Amino acid sequence: MESTTPPPIGQPVPTGPVIPSQPTSTKSIMALILGILSLLCCGFFSGIPAIILGKSEINLIDEGKITENNRTIAKVGLILGIVGTAFSALFFLIYIVFIALGLSAGMMQNRF
Protein backbone atom coordinates (compact mmCIF):
# COMPACT_ATOMS: atom_id res chain seq x y z
CA MET A 1 0.00 0.00 0.00
CA GLU A 2 1.37 3.33 -1.05
CA SER A 3 1.46 6.06 1.53
CA THR A 4 0.84 9.63 0.35
CA THR A 5 2.12 12.44 2.45
CA PRO A 6 0.35 15.77 2.42
CA PRO A 7 2.28 18.72 0.98
CA PRO A 8 4.05 20.99 3.45
CA ILE A 9 2.01 23.78 4.98
CA GLY A 10 1.81 26.82 2.71
CA GLN A 11 2.49 24.85 -0.47
CA PRO A 12 -0.23 24.64 -3.14
CA VAL A 13 -2.00 21.32 -3.49
CA PRO A 14 -1.83 19.89 -7.01
CA THR A 15 -5.40 19.44 -8.24
CA GLY A 16 -5.01 18.09 -11.75
CA PRO A 17 -3.76 19.09 -15.16
CA VAL A 18 -2.88 22.74 -15.48
CA ILE A 19 -4.56 24.48 -18.38
CA PRO A 20 -2.41 27.33 -19.67
CA SER A 21 -4.24 30.62 -19.96
CA GLN A 22 -4.49 32.02 -23.43
CA PRO A 23 -3.64 35.66 -24.00
CA THR A 24 -6.37 38.17 -24.70
CA SER A 25 -6.20 39.89 -28.06
CA THR A 26 -5.04 43.51 -28.02
CA LYS A 27 -7.62 44.48 -30.63
CA SER A 28 -10.43 43.08 -28.47
CA ILE A 29 -9.25 45.16 -25.54
CA MET A 30 -8.96 48.25 -27.75
CA ALA A 31 -12.53 47.69 -29.02
CA LEU A 32 -13.73 47.57 -25.41
CA ILE A 33 -11.83 50.71 -24.40
CA LEU A 34 -13.02 52.62 -27.47
CA GLY A 35 -16.59 51.47 -26.85
CA ILE A 36 -16.47 52.77 -23.28
CA LEU A 37 -15.00 56.06 -24.46
CA SER A 38 -17.75 56.41 -27.06
CA LEU A 39 -20.33 56.32 -24.27
CA LEU A 40 -18.47 58.64 -21.95
CA CYS A 41 -17.10 61.45 -24.07
CA CYS A 42 -15.87 60.77 -27.59
CA GLY A 43 -19.03 59.71 -29.45
CA PHE A 44 -18.41 59.10 -33.15
CA PHE A 45 -14.64 59.46 -32.85
CA SER A 46 -14.23 56.31 -30.78
CA GLY A 47 -17.55 54.57 -31.47
CA ILE A 48 -16.92 53.89 -35.14
CA PRO A 49 -13.41 52.44 -34.57
CA ALA A 50 -14.86 50.30 -31.74
CA ILE A 51 -17.45 48.90 -34.14
CA ILE A 52 -14.82 48.17 -36.79
CA LEU A 53 -12.37 46.53 -34.38
CA GLY A 54 -15.04 44.53 -32.57
CA LYS A 55 -16.55 43.21 -35.80
CA SER A 56 -13.15 42.29 -37.27
CA GLU A 57 -12.18 40.42 -34.08
CA ILE A 58 -15.45 38.48 -34.07
CA ASN A 59 -14.85 37.55 -37.72
CA LEU A 60 -11.34 36.34 -36.87
CA ILE A 61 -12.71 34.28 -33.97
CA ASP A 62 -15.32 32.72 -36.28
CA GLU A 63 -12.55 31.81 -38.74
CA GLY A 64 -10.56 30.18 -35.93
CA LYS A 65 -7.56 32.52 -36.16
CA ILE A 66 -8.06 33.84 -32.60
CA THR A 67 -9.07 31.94 -29.49
CA GLU A 68 -12.69 31.85 -28.36
CA ASN A 69 -11.98 33.59 -25.03
CA ASN A 70 -11.75 36.95 -26.86
CA ARG A 71 -15.35 36.81 -28.11
CA THR A 72 -17.00 38.36 -25.05
CA ILE A 73 -14.64 41.33 -24.89
CA ALA A 74 -14.93 41.98 -28.64
CA LYS A 75 -18.72 41.67 -28.53
CA VAL A 76 -19.05 44.08 -25.59
CA GLY A 77 -16.76 46.57 -27.36
CA LEU A 78 -18.86 46.25 -30.53
CA ILE A 79 -22.14 46.78 -28.66
CA LEU A 80 -20.82 49.74 -26.68
CA GLY A 81 -19.50 51.27 -29.90
CA ILE A 82 -22.91 50.91 -31.54
CA VAL A 83 -24.73 52.38 -28.54
CA GLY A 84 -22.24 55.25 -28.19
CA THR A 85 -22.47 56.08 -31.88
CA ALA A 86 -26.27 55.95 -31.82
CA PHE A 87 -26.44 58.27 -28.79
CA SER A 88 -23.97 60.63 -30.41
CA ALA A 89 -26.01 60.73 -33.62
CA LEU A 90 -29.22 61.30 -31.66
CA PHE A 91 -27.73 64.17 -29.64
CA PHE A 92 -26.27 65.68 -32.83
CA LEU A 93 -29.71 65.65 -34.47
CA ILE A 94 -31.32 67.20 -31.39
CA TYR A 95 -28.62 69.89 -31.42
CA ILE A 96 -29.34 70.67 -35.09
CA VAL A 97 -33.09 70.89 -34.37
CA PHE A 98 -32.49 73.35 -31.51
CA ILE A 99 -30.28 75.50 -33.72
CA ALA A 100 -32.93 75.51 -36.45
CA LEU A 101 -35.64 76.43 -33.94
CA GLY A 102 -33.50 79.20 -32.52
CA LEU A 103 -32.77 80.64 -35.95
CA SER A 104 -36.41 80.50 -36.99
CA ALA A 105 -37.51 82.13 -33.72
CA GLY A 106 -34.95 84.89 -34.27
CA MET A 107 -36.20 85.47 -37.79
CA MET A 108 -39.80 85.59 -36.61
CA GLN A 109 -38.92 88.12 -33.91
CA ASN A 110 -37.55 90.58 -36.48
CA ARG A 111 -40.84 90.60 -38.42
CA PHE A 112 -42.86 92.13 -35.61
Residue 94 lies in a domain: yes
User: 32: domain range?
Assistant: 26-111
Q: Whole-angstrom Cα distance, residue 2 to residue 68? A: 42
Whether residue 84 lies inside any domain: the answer is yes
Residue 4 lies in a domain: no
Task: Give me the percent of the chain exceeding a pLDDT of 70.
Answer: 80
User: How much is the average pLDDT of 53-64?
Assistant: 94
CA distances from 48 to 26, 32, 80 (A): 17, 12, 10
Alpha helices in 3-70 (DSSP H): 26-37, 44-63
In a domain, 17, yes or no: no
Overall domain count for the chain: 1
Residue at 13 is within a domain: no
For 72-87, the pLDDT digits (tens) are: 999 999 999 999 999 9
Assess if residue 31 is contained within a domain. Answer: yes
Q: Is residue 19 part of a domain?
A: no
